[in-house]
Amino acid sequence: MSRRAFLCSLGAAGAVAAFPWDAHGRRTDESELASRLKNDPLRPQYHLMPAANWMNDPNGPIFYRGRYQMFFQYNPNGAYWGDMHWAHAVSPDMIHWQHQSVAIAPTPGGWDRDGVFSGSVVLNGDTPTAIYTGVSPADPSGITLNDGRHKWREVQCLATSMDVDLKTWKKWSEPIVARPPEGLQVTGFRDPGVWREGDDWLMTLGSSTKEKGGMVLIYRSRDLRHWEYLHPLVEGDSAGKDATNPVDTGHMWECPDFFPLADRHVLLYAAKSKVWWKTGEYRERRFFPNKEGVADFGSFYAPKTMIDRDGTRILWGWIPETRPEAEYRAAGWAGLMSLPRVMSIGADGGLELDAAPAAKLLRGKSVRVGAELSAADKAKGLALYRVRNLSAEIEAEFAGRRKFLLRLVSEQGGKFAEISYDPDRTGRELMVNEFAGTVVPRDRMRVHFLLDGSSLEVFANRQALTARVYTIPLGAPDCPLRLEVDDWSTLEALEAWEMRPISADRLTTP
């Protein structure tokens, strides 16, 4: 479900208080919630997420003054979508995060009174500058977001920080882009991406029209405050379907991110509950894609990239819940940030992904079986291995172009997760539980996955699939899982690591 689809499902429940209600209709207090969060085995231990409540899109990640700064969509009032703020966290390494106070909140009566939506942070000289979408009520002529419940005007707003820790922000008094271009009847106008190109600042906005479908608009500025619309950077085709939320059909593209990578340019955008990529050529400030695909076949949305301290382009994304809303409301938390991912261009010109090397900082004890061992010795070598606390990193290599099945099961044999590959299962070669993805057959299959509570990020030959798994295995307190392989002759090598949590209590970092 996309972030906009959540809007339609909230109804009157959107007014629920910050802390959930128990089975008897009584509101739990803050200390009880903290205790339950600390002891919730499904709550991740080494991913960035707020101490409680709802989070979604990454916003404005930037490396600034020797630290990584991450902002993200956050509801301070509870584990449900609504009242969006920019939360803020800092890190020395993209892995160990320290939460800060809320950076940007809606201004009562302002252009962002109903929500501080997604955007970017750039350095304008020495001045950190945030550009984001603000939403507020609109008359019929000004509506750009109509999800069946809300009728909102989307405008692009600016805020600056003179604080070296980026804790305080001052908003520009007026929108920097107050309305869509003349002549375009848009069905979406949000999520600015901003970068420097020569003497100009350029900005992309996710949008669509009823005639053309999804598109990305491009603007130009010299000072970040006065913007000139140029033209569509790229246009899609009409989805040909009516929907309450045009993002659900792919008729509107949100969260666009456009950047150079190797010898190509890449466009990422979100639609139809997935992140999509296009690669191709960029000239005269227009994009000409010649290859496209899905960035992650599972639960991954709202892409945002940044340049790290070494000049590497890093991808972040929101990992949403796939369980019913009543369950995550009762749990007191919803959503997490993906681990940082590195991107590359494959030999075929497509986008490839893997977890960033920074994740290795969390590795603890390991076990390994090598290619020199027989199938029987590999099985014996892993017989005593256990994944504990639903936390592990595993790298495995399988013989290419052969089926394999790898399972994580409880001590009693109950299924937790299955990762399978079948080159004859066209379009569904890779399966992670009920999630399916496409992986081109090769002579060797490298599978790299990171388990953290209910989050399972899988990379198979640099194709990504993020699954959510809400099964709690028997065997408290550490929920041990055994590793099984259906045919040990297909396994060439495997190494597994314990992963250290970034917090002692699962609520925040020290």
Active site residues: 57
Q: Strand 415-421 and strand 333-334: pairing?
A: unpaired
Distances (CA, A) of 157 to 133, 140, 225, 270, 505: 6, 21, 9, 21, 37
Burial 419-448 (b: 16+ CB within 10 A, else e): bbbbeeeeeebbbbbebbbbbeeeeebbbb
CB-based contact 254:190 (threshold 8 Å): yes
| 3-class state of residue 3 by DSSP | helix
**Which candidate, 277, 341, 283, places its Cα nearest to that of 95?**
341
Q: List Cβ<8 Å contacts ≥24 apart for 222-225.
A: 224/122, 224/124, 224/129, 224/131, 224/158, 224/176, 224/194, 225/158, 225/172, 225/176
Report which residue type is found at 179: R
List CB contacts of 466: < 8 A, sequence separation 6 or more. Answer: 296, 298, 299, 300, 319, 338, 455, 456, 457, 458
- CB count within 10 Å of CB 4 equals 22
Distances (CA, A) of 138 to 3, 121, 151, 234, 321: 21, 27, 7, 28, 30
Q: Which residues pair with 264 in a beta bridge?
A: 261
d(CA 222, CA 199): 7
- CB count within 10 Å of CB 108 equals 7
